[in-house]
Amino acid sequence: MKKVALLTIFWTFIAHASVSLPVEGQNLLTDKTVKASVENKKGLVVVFLSAVCPCSNSHVAELTKISNEYPDFNFIAIHSNANEEVAVAKNYFTDKKLPFPVIQDSKAKLADEFKALKTPHVYVVRPNGEIAYQGGVTNSADCSKADKNFLRDALDDIKQSHVVRTPSGRTLGCVIKRG
């Protein structure tokens, strides 16, 4: 009975996990304020990335592709790692030329709000703030070796107005260091 109660509480927590929108912060590359919303979109994809973590780096090309293939969703990246110098991160993300902005989350406020653990750690947020998916982009620390793409699956489910079949996936990568 205890187990059932705990399980119910757990699933209730998962089902109702939500964040406040828009996601707002300082653009790492321009120092201007950036607001990522879900206006006229099916959702917002929030991904925590690192400038030095190889697991994060291996997913950058795939994230670029996904953002191109799913125009119904807005995308935003967040850089929260306190152990990575801003200048290093600026150089890295300037080189990567991502098709979406990168927020510099210096005090890990957004990482705390999302309870982000590692890089890459991705969240799909619905227009009502509900987190429809959270976890790894794929099921591998090295994107090229992945045989499951959790993020694509979640976006496909939402596009087809289905319930996201896998609402959370294991996050494999480098731990986000808080300051």
Partner 1 sequence: MKIVTPLIAALILTACAQEKSPPPAKDLFSPTNGERVTDCSIRFKKSGLCLSWGWESQPTSTAMGSLVFKTYRANLLDQSPVQVDLESTPQVILWMPEMGHGSRPTTVNPIDVGTYRASDVFFVMPGKWEILFQIKSGESVLDEAVVNVTI
Q: How far is the CB of 35 from partner 1 (least distance, A)?
A: 12
Using the minimum distance from each CB to partner 1, give the nearer residue, 2 or 32: 32
- 64 in contact with partner 1 (CB under 8 A): yes
Asked whether the beta carbons of 75 and 100 are under 8 A apart, the reply is yes
Asked whether the beta carbons of 46 and 122 are under 8 A apart, the reply is yes
Of 2, 3, 16, 97, which one interacts with partner 1 (CB under 8 A)? Answer: 97
- 141 in contact with partner 1 (CB under 8 A): no
The residue count for binding partner 1 (CB under 8 A) is: 17
SS (H, E, C) the chain: CHHHHHHHHHHHHHHHCECCCCEEEEECCCCCEEEECCCCCCEEEEEECCCCCHHHHHCHHHHHHHHHHCCCEEEEEEECCCCCCHHHHHHHHHHHCCCCCEEECCCCHHHHHHCCCEECEEEEECCCCEEEEEECCCCCCCHHHCCCCHHHHHHHHHHCCCCCCCCECCCCCEECCCC
- 87 in contact with partner 1 (CB under 8 A): no
Phi, psi of 39 (to 5 degrees): -55, 125
- 54 in contact with partner 1 (CB under 8 A): no
Using the minimum distance from each CB to partner 1, give the nearer residue, 25 or 136: 25
- 98 in contact with partner 1 (CB under 8 A): yes
Sites for partner 1 among residues 102-121 (CB under 8 A): 102
Q: How far is the CB of 174 from partner 1 (least distance, A)?
A: 19
Of 10, 12, 18, 65, which one interacts with partner 1 (CB under 8 A)? Answer: 65
Using the minimum distance from each CB to partner 1, give the nearer residue, 98 or 158: 98
Of 13, 16, 20, 95, which one interacts with partner 1 (CB under 8 A)? Answer: 95
- 151 in contact with partner 1 (CB under 8 A): no
Kindly list the residues in this chain that would bind partner 1 in the complex (CB under 8 A). Answer: 27-30, 32, 34, 64-65, 67-68, 95, 97-102
